């Protein structure tokens, strides 16, 4: 792959912009501290996932498709055009946001949405089939939520959630796959569906107001303890397999 095409494919701008970055001496091949400068936009390299290069003194690797996990902080919206709060996409570097369009996807997109006041594990990718696989209730990918309520919880509340409650947008009951009572006002719930404001509405249906909501797990992928709010990282192959696992 020509170097200008590599940068273009990774979201560094148009081919002309990528040419300029290279010709102006801003691109090196290899790992930071041991990379060699390349000023020829048309120089060809054998490129595979993990191919290392440096742009403007920042280390990058080639990703055929980008897979990102983000610890979503409170006070952010999962929207490219937020209405009231900063967008989660401002937490990502420009190349991830501006990767060239693949099918109908421009840059990485969130796999489902979390409310502005909800925190926790959020996945983003430009892999359309994966977005569908992780979002569709047909694939039964579990999502685990840690919930804090305004008033004390009782086991009977969890029993109702496990049996199923009716929400106001459908006559069909929705139920939790699993529920655990972890404290007087603290519980953990597992869902395989993804309705609008589902957790809050399900708790409201059993008489409780949610005052804290955190997604701790998707599939078998848990939010890493060392990934702080607002931080992101590229997912490993093991992360991807875990996120898609239902057992």
The residues assigned a catalytic role are: 115
Task: Name beta bridge partners: 132.
Answer: none
Closest CA to 211 of 158, 152, 148: 148
How many other CB atoms sit within 10 Å of the CB of residue 25? 11
Instruction: Give φ, ψ of 179 to 5 degrees.
Output: -140, 140
How many other CB atoms sit within 10 Å of the CB of residue 45? 15
Q: How far apart are CA 8 and CA 20, in angstroms?
A: 12
DSSP character at residue 94: H
Given the structure tokens 């990282």, which residue do they identify?
233
Q: How far apart are CA 144 and CA 182, in angstroms?
A: 14
Which two tokens mark 177?
């796959």
Instruction: Give φ, ψ of 20 to 5 degrees.
Output: -65, -45
Q: How far apart are CA 99 and CA 120, in angstroms?
A: 24
């Amino acid at each position: 792959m020509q170097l200008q095409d590599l940068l273009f494919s990774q979201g560094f701008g148009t081919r002309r912009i990528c040419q300029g970055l290279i010709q102006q001496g801003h691109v090196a091949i290899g790992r930071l501290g041991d990379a060699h400068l390349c000023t020829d936009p048309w120089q060809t390299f054998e490129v595979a996932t993990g191919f290392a290069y440096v742009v403007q003194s920042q280390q990058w690797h080639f990703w055929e498709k980008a897979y990102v996990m983000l610890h979503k902080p409170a006070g952010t919206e999962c929207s490219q055009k937020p209405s009231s709060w900063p967008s989660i996409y401002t937490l990502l570097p420009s190349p991830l946001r501006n990767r060239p369009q693949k099918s109908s996807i421009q840059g990485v997109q969130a796999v489902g949405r979390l409310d502005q006041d909800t925190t926790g594990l959020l996945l983003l990718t430009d892999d359309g089939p994966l977005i569908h696989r992780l979002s569709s209730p047909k694939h039964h990918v579990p999502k685990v939520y840690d919930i804090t309520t305004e008033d004390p919880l009782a086991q009977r509340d969890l029993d109702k959630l496990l049996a199923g409650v009716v929400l106001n947008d459908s006559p069909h009951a929705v139920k939790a796959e699993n529920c655990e009572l972890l404290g007087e006002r603290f519980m953990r719930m597992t869902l395989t569906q993804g309705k609008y404001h589902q957790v809050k509405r399900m708790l409201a249906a059993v008489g409780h107001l949610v005052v804290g909501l955190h997604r701790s797990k998707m599939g078998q992928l848990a939010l890493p303890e060392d990934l702080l709010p607002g931080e992101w990282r590229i997912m490993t192959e093991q992360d991807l397999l875990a996120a898609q696992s239902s057992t």
